[in-house]
Amino acid sequence: MNKTIQTPGVLAAAIAMAVLAGCASQETTAGTSAADKTMAAKVSKGPAPLAPLPAPPIPPDNQQTPEKIELGKLLFFDARIGGDASTGCSTCHEPDQGWAWAEDFSRGYPGTVHWRNSQTIINSAYFPRQFWAGSAASNEKQAKSAAKGGVAGNGEDDIMEARLALIPDYVQRFRKVFGTDWPHIGDVWKAIASFERTMVQRDTPLDKYLQGDKTALSEEAIRGKAVFEGKGGCIQCHNGALTSDQDYYNIGVPPNKRWEEDGLAQITFRFEQYAKGQTEENYRKAKSDWGFYYRSKNEWDKGKFRTAPLRYLKYTAPYMHNGVFYTLEEVVDFYDRGGFDEEGRTTLFTETKSPLIKPLGLTDQEKEDLVAFLESMSGPEIIIEKPKLPEYAPLFTKAELEAAQEAK
Amino acid sequence: MGVRVKTGHTILATALGLGLAFGAQAGKYPDLGPLPALKVNAAKAELGKRLFFDKRLSGDAGIACATCHVPENGFGSVKALSPGYPGNGHFRNAPSLINVAQKKVWNWDGRIGTNLNDMTREMITEDYIMNMDMRIMQERIKQDPKYLEMFKAAGMGEPSNGKVRKLIPEYLKTLTSRNAPFDTGKMSAAAKRGMKLFKGKAGCIQCHNGPLASDGKAHNTGVPENFDVFLDPMNHQAFLAFAMFQGIENYMNLKRDPGYYNVTLDKDDMGKFITPSLRELKYTAPYMHNGMLKTLDDVIAFYNKGGGKDSRKSKLLKPLNLSKKEQADLKAFLLSLSGDPLTSDKYVWKEPYPSEYPVIENWTQVKN
pLDDT digits (tens, 9 = 90+) for A151-189: 999 999 999 999 999 999 999 999 999 999 999 999 999
Q: What pLDDT is recorded for position B314? A: 97
- For residues A395 and B78, give the distance between their C-alpha atoms in angstroms, rounded to a whole number: 27
- For residues A184 and A389, give the distance between their C-alpha atoms in angstroms, rounded to a whole number: 18
CA distance A167 to chain B (A): 9
Whether residue A8 has pLDDT greater than 50? no
A271/B311 CB distance under 8 A? no
pLDDT digits (tens, 9 = 90+) for B273-327: 999 999 999 999 999 999 999 999 999 999 999 999 999 999 999 999 999 999 9
| CA dihedral for B125, B128, B129, B133, sign (positive or negative) | positive
Nearest-by-Cβ selection for A285 from B56, B133, B367? B367
CA distance A87 to chain B (A): 10
Q: DSSP assignment of A255-294, as one string?
A: PPTHHHH-HHHHHHHHHHHHHTT--HHHHHH--S--BTHH
A408/B230 CB distance under 8 A? no
CA distance A293 to chain B (A): 19
Q: What pLDDT is recorded for position B136? A: 98
Among chain A residues, the shortest Cα distance to B355 is held by A111
- For residues A77 and A169, give the distance between their C-alpha atoms in angstroms, rounded to a whole number: 15
Distances in Å between the Cα of A20 and the Cα atoms of A44, A47, A185 are 8, 15, 47
pLDDT digits (tens, 9 = 90+) for A52-95: 999 999 999 999 999 999 999 999 999 999 999 999 999 999 99
**Cα dihedral B11, B12, B15, B19 in deg (nearest 10):** -160
Return the axis-axis angle of helices A185-196 and A66-76, rounded to nearest 10°. Answer: 100
Cα distance from N-terminal residue to C-terminal residue, chain B: 74
CA atoms within a 13 Å half-sphere pointing along the CA-CB vector of B171 = 26
B255/A400 CB distance under 8 A? yes
Nearest-by-Cβ selection for B244 from A83, A161, A401? A161
A162/B87 CB distance under 8 A? no
CB pairs under 8 A between A and B: 168
Q: What pLDDT is recorded for position A2? A: 42
Nearest-by-Cβ selection for B368 from A156, A284, A405? A284
Which residues, at least 6 apart from B138, have a Cβ–Cβ distance to it below 8 Å?
A: A274, B159, B160, B161, B164
Q: How confident is the model at residue A37 (pLDDT cuts 50, 70, 90)?
A: low
Nearest-by-Cβ selection for B236 from A161, A395, A404? A395
Nearest-by-Cβ selection for A286 from B127, B312, B368? B368
- For residues A110 and A89, give the distance between their C-alpha atoms in angstroms, rounded to a whole number: 14
Put simply, whether A112 touches B (Cβ < 8 Å) is yes
Partners of A263 on chain B (C-beta within 8 Å) are 143, 356-360
pLDDT digits (tens, 9 = 90+) for B191-248: 999 999 999 999 999 999 999 999 999 999 999 999 999 999 999 999 999 999 999 9
Amino acid in position A198: T
Whether residue A25 has pLDDT greater than 50? no
- For residues A311 and A306, give the distance between their C-alpha atoms in angstroms, rounded to a whole number: 15
Q: Is A299 exposed, middle or buried (0-12, 13-18, 19+ CB in 10 A)?
A: exposed
Angle at CA A395, nearest 5°, toward A389 and A399?
140
Mean of the per-residue pLDDT values of chain A: 92
Largest CA distance in chain B: 98
Q: Is B344 exposed, middle or buried (0-12, 13-18, 19+ CB in 10 A)?
A: exposed
- For residues B55 and B334, give the distance between their C-alpha atoms in angstroms, rounded to a whole number: 34
Partners of B244 on chain A (C-beta within 8 Å) are 158, 161-162
- Please state the rounded mean pLDDT for residues B30-43: 96
Put simply, whether A161 touches B (Cβ < 8 Å) is yes
Partners of A80 on chain B (C-beta within 8 Å) are 87
B139/A267 CB distance under 8 A? yes
B255/A401 CB distance under 8 A? yes
B88/A273 CB distance under 8 A? no
Peptide bond into A254 cis (omega under 30): no
Strand, helix or coil for residue A376? coil
Mean of the per-residue pLDDT values of chain B: 94
* ipTM of this complex prediction, to 2 decimal places: 0.91
Q: How confident is the model at residue B22 (pLDDT cuts 50, 70, 90)?
A: very low
Nearest-by-Cβ selection for A266 from B143, B233, B367? B143
Partners of A158 on chain B (C-beta within 8 Å) are 127-128, 240-242, 244-245
Put simply, whether A14 touches B (Cβ < 8 Å) is no
Report which secondary-structure segment, H or E, holds A249.
Answer: strand A248-249
CA atoms within a 13 Å half-sphere pointing along the CA-CB vector of B214 = 25
- For residues A193 and A68, give the distance between their C-alpha atoms in angstroms, rounded to a whole number: 10
* Radius of gyration of the CA atoms of chain B, in A: 23
Q: What pLDDT is recorded for position A47? A: 86
pLDDT digits (tens, 9 = 90+) for B316-329: 999 999 999 999 99
Partners of A175 on chain B (C-beta within 8 Å) are none
Of B32, B19, B72, B22, the residue nearest B334 (C-alpha): B32
Higher confidence at residue A33 or residue A54? A54
For the ranges A14-23, A336-345, B337-346, the lowest mean pLDDT is seen at A14-23
